Amino acid sequence: GENVEQHPSTLSVQEGDSAVIKCTYSDSASNYFPWYKQELGKGPQLIIDIRSNVGEKKDQRIAVTLNKTAKHFSLHITETQPEDSAVYFCAARYSGYSTLTFGKGTMLLVSP
């Protein structure tokens, strides 16, 4: 089955800096890669996703890049704000199945 590795486990940045979280996946057939933001005591919120036919996708301060050859994808947050502090999960969907495989999460702390 699919295996998703996520790094780093924790990331501390100053407000205004950029943050990058990286994930690798094992199954070359995976074709959908979402990123979720989870605040304490809440459910995960889908913030951006990318499909395997696209290399990059942006939404305001958030971007995701995908390298299919290397089987890795990354979340980029620019101009970070304290409200960006949360746990971020990457995931991959194994082609032909409906379940997502999640990374272990990255706790992002943005200090004012």
Partner 1 sequence: GAVVSQHPSRVICKSGTSVKIECRSLDFQATTMFWYRQFPKQSLMLMATSNEGSKATYEQGVEKDKFLINHASLTLSTLTVASAHPEDSSFYICSASSGARSYEQYFGPGTRLTVT
Q: Where along the sequence are the contacts to partner 1 (CB under 8 A)?
A: 32, 34, 36, 41-46, 49, 51, 89, 93, 98-100, 102-105
Q: How far is the C-alpha of 54 from the C-alpha of 80, rounded, in Å?
A: 25
**Least distance in angstroms from the C-beta of 60 to partner 1:** 15
Sign of CA dihedral 105, 97, 25, 79: negative
**In terms of CB distance, is 81 or 99 closer to partner 1?**
99
**Least distance in angstroms from the C-beta of 27 to partner 1:** 16
**Least distance in angstroms from the C-beta of 89 to partner 1:** 7
9 Rama sector, left if φ>0, alpha if ψ -120 to 50, beta otherwise? alpha
Rg (CA), the chain: 13
**In terms of CB distance, is 19 or 44 closer to partner 1?**
44
Q: How far is the C-alpha of 43 from the C-alpha of 89, rounded, in Å?
A: 12
**In terms of CB distance, is 18 or 28 closer to partner 1?**
28
**In terms of CB distance, is 18 or 46 closer to partner 1?**
46
